Amino acid sequence: MQGREITVNALKYDGSLRRHWTAGVVSQTDELTIAVGRFEFDVNHSDLGLIEQGTVSFEHFWKDRWYNIFRFHEPDGSLRNYYCNVAMPFALDGETLEFVDLDIDVVVWPDGRFEVLDRNDFEENSVKFDYPGDLIEKAESALIELLSLIDAGKLP
| Burial letters 49-58, b for 16+ CB under 10 A, else e | eebeeebebb
Other Cβ atoms less than 10 A from the Cβ of 66: the count is: 23
Condensed to tens digits (0 to 9), the pLDDT of residues 86-120 reads 999 999 998 999 999 999 999 999 999 999 999 99
In order of start, what are the domains of the chain with their CATH numbers?
A: 5-151 (2.40.380.10)
- To the query of whether residue 19 is one of the catalytic residues in this protein, the response is yes
End-to-end CA distance of the chain: 21
Residues in CB range of 97: below 8 A, 6 or more apart:
6, 7, 8, 9, 33, 35, 61, 90, 91
pLDDT in tens, 15-43: 999 999 999 999 999 999 999 999 998 89
Query: Rounded CA gap, 134 and 138, in Å?
Result: 6
Q: Which of 19, 38, 80, 113 is catalytic?
A: 19
Specify the pTM.
0.94
